[in-house]
Structure 1
Amino acid sequence: MRVCSGWRRFLLCLPLIFFLPHIFSVLELHKNSTVNDLHKSHNKKFDHLVLGPAAGEGLHDRLQCQGTKALNKTHLSTSSGNFSFGESVAFVTFYAAYDSSVDRLVNGRLKDLVTVGNISYSKVERSMAILNVFVNFVQMTMPQSNIIILTDPASKLPLHRNRVSIYPIQGEYSRDKLMLQRIRSYITFLEARLEEHSQSQGHINHYIFTDSDVSVVDDLGQIFYNYPNIHLALTFRNNKEQPLNSGFIAVRGTPDGMLRAKVFLQEVLKVYGSKYMKASRMLGDQLALAWVVRSHPHFDAKRFARPQAFVEDISGASVLFLPCAIYNWTPPEGAGQFHGMPLDVKVVHFKGSRKRLMLESWNFLDSSSNISDMLCLILKSGRTKYDF
């Protein structure tokens, strides 16, 4: 059948010739605006938890959730109890006090005030709240561990907790040099501990250097118990450019372990300063870590693609590589997240804008006392950006 044959039909169809392109352009504009709206809503930060689907549904070795109720239980270990008398684990975190002058009043109220639960926080207060929750998690899972906070001598941290000590270290604490200063502070701390150890024999204190926005949800003493010959441990993920995360570094507390870890970090600092100063504010330390490890002639970087622990000799140090999926699990990014949360997860790292989720998680755990249910809350909320 012919369409629009003859002059009459041609004249009837003539308006369509002019209107169809306009209709298509309107439809295309609507399509683009819908995509843009979806993109904007995806990047929107929320001031409350938003629950979504739990990744890893149906996988036998992943946490299974129904709402915020865990259908299976995480595998918790208590291997620190296997330590011989005179061994312990201490957590060391680097903290730079926030400049309180930025918390200016706007119309008689503090700018950027954030409310979590029944408490409102300024920028300074929310930073301290994260640090306190970090302490809470460590003291819940490893109550015999001490916590050491490396910071600027000029800062006066309002933190008075049992088994928590402030360790001031002179340095450069400007925002664009923080990651450099963190490595320097680790080296200075290890040097001091080496000197102290030479004067007092006996007790061995292993150290775990972590960011303060992590939650320790299982006993980490088993790292040193299960791998008695390693000097330090790093966490890795299947990421070509940044396979190593600097937010978790474990160091054996023997003189040999601390010395080799110090030398290793000094090499990282040297590479950082010579190659990655343009990334000094962020990521430079991770890039330098990766360069030092990959530059070892016999190192096989393909091992980063498999989430299995392995040991390598790097510059004279026996280095244990631990999968981020278990020892540095990050919502929503990081190795293993898109396949859910492993049942034996030990550390959850609340990078970037997920720090509200860290506070909310502790509040939930404080009211429920169920770690597995709390992990469901994290798993189902981890893909959303929050307000700080």
Structure 2
Amino acid sequence: MKIYRGWRRLLLCLPLVFLLPHLSSVFELHQSSNVEELPKKHNKKFDHLVLGPAAGQGLPNRLQCQGLKALHKAHFSSPSHIATSGETVSFVTVFAVYNYSSHSYDDKSSNLVTVGNASYGKAERSMAILHVFINFIQVSMPQSNVIILTDPASELSVGRNSVTVFPIQGEYSRDKLMLQRIKSYIAFLERRLKEYSERPDHVNHYIFTDSDVAVVDDLEPIFQKNHKFHLALTFRNNKNQPLNSGFIAVRGTTDGILRAKLFLQKVLEIYSSKFMKASRMLGDQLALAWFVKSHPSFDVKRFTRPQAFMDEIHGTSVLFLPCALYNWTPPEGAGQFHGMPLDVKVVHFKGSRKRLMLESWNFFSSSDSNISDMLCLVLKSGRTKYDF
């Protein structure tokens, strides 16, 4: 009986033997860490940057950070001189100006958000994001132009070099903005088709993006290395929403512009007939996915592998680019939890990460840090919701 009791005590103690060293190491790690931990409750928004561990540490071909310093530089290319070959790249974004009612400013201090030395009211925040969007393009691709599609009634004025405001009539309300965005893209491409006949010797490629993206590398190689595509889309390993509409590239030839216009017109038809319940958000992405998947020979399994590929979709040659490089978003996408690729080209600050976009630009522009160091800030801050 005593022997049985002895074995019983030994068996009860065994788990503690294995657990104690582990608990000790966790305690030491917690004590030695001088980085603020990520919040456990993700529904809380913060009015300051919250740094956490950088995902992907020790993994090959991922950004490695020590604090806010990159241990080795990302594979960024020098800005190209594509203009000398008679070709240019222009960025196109849809931007809407909303008038906030006076009663929303009863307590002005509660509406102010401070980033660095600047404070922004509710009406100025989207303009601040737009200017940072332009800033990143002018650093990474200084010879590129920015074209802003907007409501003619908004009387938008940006006052920046190489930036053009392009009014297009439409319905720019919040509930219809995603639907209007596709309509504006189509109207813009139709206008460009007419202008192209007047200047056939000049090729202007177009990249349609959301205004909350940071272009951190030269994107001209998309057009130089892939000569056969008409339209380029970004994809991710997501069953219901594999395509993200925040980045669409169009080859600036007659055929490219025409095919891209016809493609988007089909997407618009599907959007209007099948996904109007999602007109405020996601409807365009659902319509994109439906149209691509409806092609009989398309293999949806290709979305699970993060390699670029080309396919013909209903007469349009489409280049599919991985979001991990051309539309990287913290913390969304399977690639995020494996870190940030060294050769990332575009960072998309969706949703609650708008403050992080401004903080990243301030960090880059007000210090001797480079783009790689700035990406460490993004990587370590990207899983937090902010107040912007």
TM-score (norm 1): 0.88
The separation in 2 between residues aligned to 1:255 and 1:102, in whole angstroms, is 48
Cα 1:322/1:378, change in 2 over 3 Å = same
Cα 1:335/1:226, change in 2 over 3 Å = farther
* CA positional deviation for 1:42: 2.7
Aligned residues: 351
- 2:298 pairs with 1:299: yes
> Which moves more between the two structures, 166-175 or 98-107?
98-107
1:4-38 C-alpha deviation (Å, 9 max, x unpaired):
xxxxxxxxxxxxxxxxxxxxxxxxxxxxxxxxxx9
Residue 186 of structure 1: aligned partner: 185
Cα 1:299/1:102, change in 2 over 3 Å = farther
Secondary structure of 1:166's partner? Answer: strand
1:1-388 equivalences in 2 (<5 Å): 41-78=41-78, 80-81=80-81, 85-101=85-101, 104-107=104-107, 109=108, 111-368=110-367, 369-388=369-388
Secondary structure of 1:104's partner? Answer: helix
Secondary structure of 1:343's partner? Answer: coil
Cα 1:218/1:269, change in 2 over 3 Å = same
Cα 1:128/1:79, change in 2 over 3 Å = closer
* CA positional deviation for 1:102: 5.7
* CA positional deviation for 1:103: 7.0
Residue 24 of structure 2: aligned partner: none
Secondary structure of 1:135's partner? Answer: helix
- Residue identity matched to 2:347: V
> Which moves more between the two structures, 63-72 or 207-216?
63-72
* CA positional deviation for 1:72: 1.3
- Residue identity matched to 1:99: N
Say whether the 8 Å CA contact 1:53–1:380 is kept in structure 2.
yes
- Residue identity matched to 2:58: G
- Residue identity matched to 2:311: E
Identity of aligned residues (%): 74
Say whether the 8 Å CA contact 1:93–1:149 is kept in structure 2.
yes
* CA positional deviation for 1:40: 7.0
1:290-321 C-alpha deviation (Å, 9 max, x unpaired):
00000000000000000000000001111000
1:134-193 C-alpha deviation (Å, 9 max, x unpaired):
000000000000000000001122310000000000001111111010000000000000
Q: Structure 1: which 4+ aligned runs deviate by more than 3 Å? A: 78-84
| Unpaired runs of at least 5, structure 1 | 2-37
- Residue identity matched to 2:164: S
Say whether the 8 Å CA contact 2:271–2:284 is kept in structure 1.
yes
Structure index of larger Rg: 1
* CA positional deviation for 1:200: 2.0
Cα 1:225/1:77, change in 2 over 3 Å = same
Secondary structure of 2:152's partner? Answer: coil
Say whether the 8 Å CA contact 2:39–2:384 is kept in structure 1.
no
> Which moves more between the two structures, 356-365 or 66-75?
66-75
The separation in 2 between residues aligned to 1:221 and 1:353, in whole angstroms, is 29
- Residue identity matched to 1:346: K
- Residue identity matched to 1:93: T
The separation in 2 between residues aligned to 1:219 and 1:318, in whole angstroms, is 23
> Which moves more between the two structures, 326-335 or 182-191?
326-335
| Unpaired runs of at least 5, structure 2 | 2-37
Secondary structure of 1:336's partner? Answer: helix
The separation in 1 between residues aligned to 2:208 and 2:334, in whole angstroms, is 20
1:33-86 C-alpha deviation (Å, 9 max, x unpaired):
xxxxx9973321000000000000101200000110101110012473367621
* CA positional deviation for 1:335: 3.9
Say whether the 8 Å CA contact 1:103–1:123 is kept in structure 2.
no
> Which moves more between the two structures, 224-233 or 78-87?
78-87
* CA positional deviation for 1:101: 2.3
Cα 1:301/1:84, change in 2 over 3 Å = farther
- Residue identity matched to 2:207: I
The separation in 1 between residues aligned to 2:88 and 2:235, in whole angstroms, is 25
Cα 1:42/1:269, change in 2 over 3 Å = same
The separation in 2 between residues aligned to 1:186 and 1:201, in whole angstroms, is 21
1:298-356 C-alpha deviation (Å, 9 max, x unpaired):
00000000000000000111100000000000011124111000000000000000000
The separation in 1 between residues aligned to 2:133 and 2:312, in whole angstroms, is 32
The separation in 2 between residues aligned to 1:216 and 1:84, in whole angstroms, is 22
Say whether the 8 Å CA contact 2:150–2:167 is kept in structure 1.
yes
